[in-house]
A and B are shown apart, each in its own frame.
Chain A
Amino acid sequence: MNTAAANRRLLIKLSVVAAGMFGFGFALVPFYNAICNVTGVNNLIKRDSRPVNTQVDLNRTVTFEFDANAIGLAWHFSPVQRSVRVHPGEIVLVEYEVVNRSNVAVVGQAIPSYGPKLAAAYVRKLECFCFQQQTLQPGEVRRMPVQFVLDGDLPPDVNTITLSYTFFEVNAAAGEPRSGSAG
């Protein structure tokens, strides 16, 4: 085999490697999500398991503050109660209200965030409107529940937790938000 032909064959092989690595870059996205799912990292919009210890700790009280935002949506979104005081281990139910003030049906997805960030690991959500996309008809008003249990392992220096939800439009161009987790 002459050199030119050998060179061409190697060129093709190496080009395939480069193209494959370009694909690999994109393959890292589902891979990352799968890892996050398996290890439970970034588990924000999925149901949590109940805490093992269900003993209610009446000696400790943690204040929960609720916040709501809607970005890029003509929605009015607010918590029904601004704050509640919670004992670790008790099952808490709060509600959020959302109003679609536009004259078209809109699909939104809520993403939670916590302050302080480490609280995310200790708030076990049993029910949440953020587990599904919400479709609101024009003018529709909806009250939506969040049910959670605060894990008693929360570090003792945390006395106040802010739970904030932000609604984002699931727009047609973007299609479905990536499934699995928020991450």
Chain B
Amino acid sequence: MSAVLDTPGHHEHADRPTGITRWLTTTNHKDIGTMYLWFSFTMFIVGGIMALIIRTELFTPGIQVVDPDRFNALTTYHGLIMVFGAIMPAFVGFANWLIPMQIGAPDMAFPRMNNLSFWLLPPAALLLITAQFVPGGGAGVGWTMYPPLTVQAPMAMDLTIFAIHILGMSSIMGSINIITTVFNMRAPGMGMMRIPMFCWTWVITAFLLLAVMPVLAGAVTMTLTDRHFGTSFFNAAGGGDPVLYQHVFWFFGHPEVYIIAIPAFGVISQIIPAFARKPLFGYTSMVYATASIAVLSFLVWAHHMFTVGMPVEAQLYFMYATVLIAVPTGVKVFNWVATAWRGSLSFETPMLFALGFLFLFTIGGFTGLVLAIVPIDVQLHDTYYVVAHFHYVMVAGALFSAFGAIYFWLPKWTGKMYDERLGKLHFWLSFIFFNVAFFVQHFLGLAGMPRRIPDYAPQFAEFNMISSIGAWGFGLAQVLLLYIVVKTIRSGKPAEQRQWDGADGLEWTHLPTPAPYHSFETPPVLK
């Protein structure tokens, strides 16, 4: 600690630009982490407003609020913004804040590149948002951007493609930064099998990003050249094949699912031990399970496209390989349960979100197994069952984990404690309304309601109404999160150095609260 505060030549705040220049030029991992998190929250609100327009349109059958083209554009950009603008940047934000502190490094390996990684995001977000308002309207192609629609879509598609390119570059640089930081900048004595689980999950995620973001960039580049430069990769008019796009996209798309889920696993692996006051059960098996999930994620992509027409042998292979992923995922879930087993449990807000995650993510995992079974998938493909499934893993999985992380580390970041009563209220509102919004969508899907439609048959009316009410409740509950965070920063009670007595990362044991602007300029001494 003393090493942190008394470093000569680093009088805190003395040589630091202030105002907007500070944020534009900062290379500090904590500043950049903060910017990532606020950016992510902003995009979460933007994507959330889109979702609420969608759910308002679906409140009753018929066309009420938006015309079908606008509706299709809304589902497209809701998906893209939530995945690339909200969830991924949130976890990169946590990585920036936490990885250097957790491994005892002074900063990320490439601080300037880190700054660039962040500042690429706002232009990309701007492209995605303005794409709705350019002539021809937004590209209603779905977040998966399948041809032939993408080849025919209006100019908004080009903006979307450039946004994907920029986001991809940002992610790749972020990944290189994270891998290098964890590999090369750990404190002496901290071997790879001693780093906190959150760091491990991010290393694995970064490798996934590095492997698949360039493939997505390739896929959208091919779409772009098909649109404008006379190539025919996917354009059937020139002898291309739209199905090829689906293969390339899902080669990216399935690992992408784990790019979102695996850092969420990492957060849960930090929170549950802290509130069970026991070390994580089966650390080594957690590392290997996570790595095997990552490897398997490259081998199962075609389960997203069973209905495209593939040989039965291929369907069987992709079905069995997909079901196989349940094994390492099961290892993780049982390890978390075993961590909590006979622990001295307490249920503060981060723990509530972690347990909510555990419960709901498992449901999402099971519906994923259902969808992996070819004959069932043929029936449920592109129905609301799929929508329900991936919102259980994306929202109740990744997003709940992110909420948990915010409550867990907010005291360390701000030096102040959030309002526990309001935090719990936020959890229960989110938990209840999430299920109101999405559980009924399973029934809609089983009954045959297709996804991405603005109007539907009257027999779906009741469940859609319930789902829309849940969505509005869930959306409004997130305003409470903003209020809680702002209130904490403004007037929270001072937090302790080790706010959670079960938390044992270096950020809790070796650093004061709030975490100083520069930490671990000399590496910590580990026992």
| The one of A6, A7, A32, A182 that contacts B239, using a Cβ cutoff of 8 Å | A182
Contact present for A173 and B215 (CB under 8 Å): no
Mask of B167-199 contacts with A, CB within 8 angstroms, 1/0: 000001001100110011100000000000000
How far apart sit A11 and B309, CA to CA, in the bound complex (Å)?
41
Bound-state CA distance A10–B109 (Å) is: 10
Q: Does A58 contact B (CB under 8 A)?
A: no
Contact A29 B229 (CB under 8 A): no
A182 with B214: CB separation less than 8 A = no
User: Does any Cβ of B come within 8 Å of A63's Cβ?
Assistant: no
Q: How far is the CA of A42 from the CA of B240 in the complex (A)?
A: 11
User: Is B218 interfacial (CB-CB < 8 Å)?
Assistant: yes
Considering only residues 76-110 of chain A, those with a C-beta below 8 Å from chain B are: 109
Is A183 an interface position by the 8 A CB rule? yes
Question: Taking chain A's interface residues, is the majority helix, strand, or loop, or is none over half, making it mixed?
Answer: helix
Interface size in chain B (residues, C-beta < 8 A): 39
Which stretch, B13-21, B244-252, B356-364, B442-450, touches the partner chain A? B244-252
Whether A174 sits at the interface, judged by CB under 8 Å, is yes
Query: Cβ of B240 and Cβ of A178 under 8 Å apart?
Result: yes
A3 within 8 A of B: yes
| From A41, A166, A173, residue with most partner B Cβ within 10 Å | A41
Kindly state whether residue A168 has any CB partner on chain B within 8 Å: yes
Q: A28-B247, A183-B243 are in contact. Are A174 and B238 (CB under 8 A)?
A: yes
* Chain A residues whose C-beta falls within 8 Å of the C-beta of B222 in the assembled complex: 25-26, 29
Q: What residues on B are CB-neighbors of A170 within 8 Å? A: 238
Compute how far the CA of A32 lies from the CA of B242 in the bound complex, rounded to whole angstroms.
12
Total count of chain A residues near the partner, CB < 8 A:
39
Q: What distance in Å separates the Cβ of B219 from its nearest Cβ neighbour in chain A?
A: 6
Whether A111 contacts B239 in the complex (CB less than 8 A), given A10-B184, A21-B210, A174-B230, comes out as: yes
Q: Does B212 contact A (CB under 8 A)?
A: yes
In angstroms, Cα B298 to Cα A24, docked, is 13
Within 8 Å of chain A (Cβ to Cβ): is B287?
no
Contact flag A28-B180 (CB < 8 Å), given A19-B214, A21-B214, A71-B237 = no
From residue 198 to 246 of chain B, which have CB atoms closer than 8 A to chain A? Answer: 210-219, 222, 229-233, 236-241, 243-244
A-B contact pairs, 14 of them (CB 8 A): A3-B185, A7-B185, A14-B175, A19-B214, A21-B211, A22-B217, A22-B218, A28-B244, A109-B239, A111-B239, A117-B309, A178-B239, A182-B236, A183-B241
